[in-house]
Copies of this chain bind each other. A is one copy, B any other.
Amino acid sequence: MPERPRGPVSYIAGTAPAAEKTVLTAELRLDVQEFYARYAECLDGGRLQQWPEFFLDSCIYRVTTRRNLRLGPGEDIVSLSTRTAMFDRIVAIGQSEDYEPHVQRHTISNFRIQAASGEELRAQANFQILRTFPDKRTEYFVSGAYSDRIALTSGRLNFREKICVLDSDIPPDALIYPI
């Protein structure tokens, strides 16, 4: 799948490569935006048990930092490779002694489709997550960029790979919830 140049080249419909032009309709680009919005809605609404359903059975979910991304997967903060592992993690969250209930609020923006075929999209987006503990004021939690591969299968979008790259090398004290 050809990598779309990352520079200032913007593409108006007539100049996009023919293959991408066919695949990457306005509808699909908006579906991608909404897919991220529903992913965040699931997490922000506390419906953690539905989180793995946004992924393929065999998938990659990683949380790392800008600096550690260069050092490779061995330095990841979180690394999961199946939906079963994701379910296990969610169960662990509920059982953790460190766990203090709170809610998150995602702002997902700056979407860019880096490559597209009929079967897969490579997408990046920025995120900023606020969190709120009961009877407290809302506070900044974490920010960064998603760098994802999204499978297109029979009218559905699912993450094949999701890499959450945090801006700060100092991860927040409790990185328990999915990002």
Footprint of B on A, CB under 8 Å? 6-15, 25-31, 33-42, 44-45, 50, 53-54, 66-67, 103, 105-113, 124, 126, 128, 130, 132, 134-138, 140, 142-145, 152, 154-158, 167-170
Partner of A13, one of B27, B39, B154: B27
Can you pick out 15 interface pairs between chain A and chain B where the beta carbons lie within 8 Å of each other? Answer: A6-B38, A7-B42, A10-B38, A12-B28, A25-B26, A26-B26, A33-B111, A40-B126, A66-B103, A107-B109, A107-B128, A108-B109, A130-B167, A134-B169, A138-B167
Count of this chain's copies in the oligomeric assembly: 3
Provided the pairs A34-B111, A111-B33, A132-B167 are in contact, do residues A14 and B155 lie with their beta carbons within 8 angstroms? yes
